[in-house]
Amino acid sequence: MRKLLIGTMLASSLVGYAATSFAAGGSVEVLHWWTSGGEAAALDVLKKKLESQGITWKDMPVAGGGGEQAMTALRARVTAGDPPTAVQALGFDITDWAKQGVVGDLGEVADKEGWDKVIPTALQNFAKYDGKWIAAPVNVHSTNWVWISKKALDAAGGKEPTNWDEFVAMLDKMKANGITPLAHGGQAWQDATLFDAVVLGLGTDFYKAAFIDLDPAALGGDKMVEAFDRMKKLRSYVDDDFSGRDWNLASAMVIQGKAGAQMMGDWAKGEFLKAGQKPGTDFVCIRFPGTQGAVTFNSDMFMMFKVGDDKKAAQLQMASDIESPDFQSSFNVVKGSVPARTDVPDTAFDDCGKKGIKDLAEANSSGKLFGSMAHGYAVPAAIKNAIYDVVTRHFNGDVDSKEAAKELVDAVAAAKG
Ligand code: GAL
């Protein structure tokens, strides 16, 4: 399960792709947390595709970036014996639900359409359980990005930072220029998203040892103390009103030029695009300085639940639509993510999207592709939440860096049980 190597990422030709038709009509109830402007615009692409096939879309949005609230809502529905047709979910959460025996089986559509050959192994590890397809991967996001206002960057000297020291120097200049250097929302998952990048910035071996292997020496060692010190430094560039702020409002601060940069996954690009901004002109996307060549990924998947015979055809149709190459392109262009299949051309993507596709392929072939801790692809929810807790308390100044590294070891050990 921890083997996160993707299969071949080289784009091959689309010759041979045949769309399948399972349903004309019926309905799907879809639970998701895509409620920001950019997210809703992307979801609309899927909604419209299904509606064009006569399938009714019953929307069940549960706001809350990262999906924690959505997972709580899902628990209530499953406990009541009434799960939705399809649920947006991430990584180890999918495996956890599969273990409960409540998920459906997409074998029929996956076999017909040859998903095994075009969906990377790193995604299959989560989209399948016990050898069976249970979820349809929509995209691949990654968390080690920085979104910078072009105007603020130019005012700070115009040079894109390539390492930690240059990043700090850029933020200092932005501060001197009278704007909030770092737009951030104080929610545990957002703090953890920063932590993904900061830990990766201290070395891919370190990221792997800490978050994939859960090695106590890495979790509690000097490098982890340094990671926490860097988090404290980042905190010094955040404004005082950050507590509880939603991630898309932090993006808006950069879009409006009130803040210089945001460290966030590439769903942030969806907000910039929705606001009519263009990469290279209005904003700049870079990998978090020091993490070039490496990628921490998360893939949104629609996990399918066991449904009655009357709903099965529409469920299979939805899965088929999601994996169609055309949809993979048109959806991900809007969402900010990159396709979950390896054979989708990058033609329709902007420069950040093209870079995302290239980076993913390169990170995969060089062994520098890792599941995102913050977004459920490195460790199961219980351990992830234990890490969240320490990271957030430290970010809010409740514990110092040495103590935080020590607590990390204990919290992970306790969560592992
Ligand atoms: C992530 C998810 C993204 C985006 C983000 C903020 O976990 O993968 O698609 O929705 O949360 O809501």
pLDDT digits (tens, 9 = 90+) for 72-89: 999 999 999 999 999 999
Q: Ligand 1 pocket by C-beta < 6 Å: which residues?
A: 33-34, 39, 65-67, 90, 141, 247, 267, 298, 300, 375
**Spatial CB neighbours of 108, under 8 Å, sequence gap ≥ 6:** 316
336: left (phi over 0), alpha (psi -120 to 50) or beta: left
- Looking at the structure, tell me whether residues 305 and 288 fall in a common domain: no
- Looking at the structure, tell me whether residues 247 and 117 fall in a common domain: no
Q: How far apart are CA 373 and CA 360, in angstroms?
A: 17
- Identify the sign of the CA torsion 275, 281, 282, 285: positive
H-run or E-run covering 412: helix 401-416
Residue 390 scores a pLDDT above 60: yes
User: pLDDT tens across 22-76, in order?
Assistant: 877 899 999 999 999 999 999 999 999 999 999 999 999 999 999 999 999 999 9
- Looking at the structure, tell me whether residues 309 and 332 fall in a common domain: yes
Q: How many domains does the chain divide into?
A: 2
- Looking at the structure, tell me whether residues 67 and 170 fall in a common domain: no
- Looking at the structure, tell me whether residues 286 and 313 fall in a common domain: no
- Looking at the structure, tell me whether residues 332 and 279 fall in a common domain: no
Q: Is residue 305 part of a domain?
A: yes
Q: Which residue has the tokens 């030709």?
A: 13
Reported as a pLDDT band with limits 50, 70 and 90, residue 11 is very low
What is the mean predicted confidence (pLDDT) over 235-239? Answer: 98
- Looking at the structure, tell me whether residues 254 and 269 fall in a common domain: yes
- Looking at the structure, tell me whether residues 240 and 329 fall in a common domain: no
Instruction: Please name which of 113, 126, 262 lies closest in space to residue 183, comparing C-alpha atoms.
Output: 262
- Looking at the structure, tell me whether residues 112 and 242 fall in a common domain: no
Centre of ligand 1 from the C-alpha of residue 35, in Å: 10
Please report, for the domain that includes residue 168, its CATH number. Answer: 3.40.190.10
Centre of ligand 1 from the C-alpha of residue 39, in Å: 8
In this structure, the strands spanning 369-371 and 141-142 are unpaired
Ligand 1: which residue has its CA nearest to atom 2?
66
Q: Is residue 182 part of a domain?
A: yes
Q: Give how far the C-alpha of residue 286 lies from the chain's centroid of Cα atoms, to the nearest Å.
A: 16
- Looking at the structure, tell me whether residues 224 and 345 fall in a common domain: no
- Looking at the structure, tell me whether residues 211 and 350 fall in a common domain: no
Say if residues 163 and 149 touch (Cβ distance below 8 Å): no
What pLDDT shows up at residue 190?
Answer: 98
Q: Is residue 151 part of a domain?
A: no
Q: What share of the chain is helix, strand, coil (3-state, %, to 5)?
A: 50, 15, 35
**Domain end marker among 359, 387, 405:** 359
Mean pLDDT rounded to a whole number for the chain: 95
- Looking at the structure, tell me whether residues 350 and 307 fall in a common domain: yes
Query: Which range marks the domain in which residue 50 is found?
Result: 2-142+298-359
Q: Is residue 150 part of a domain?
A: no
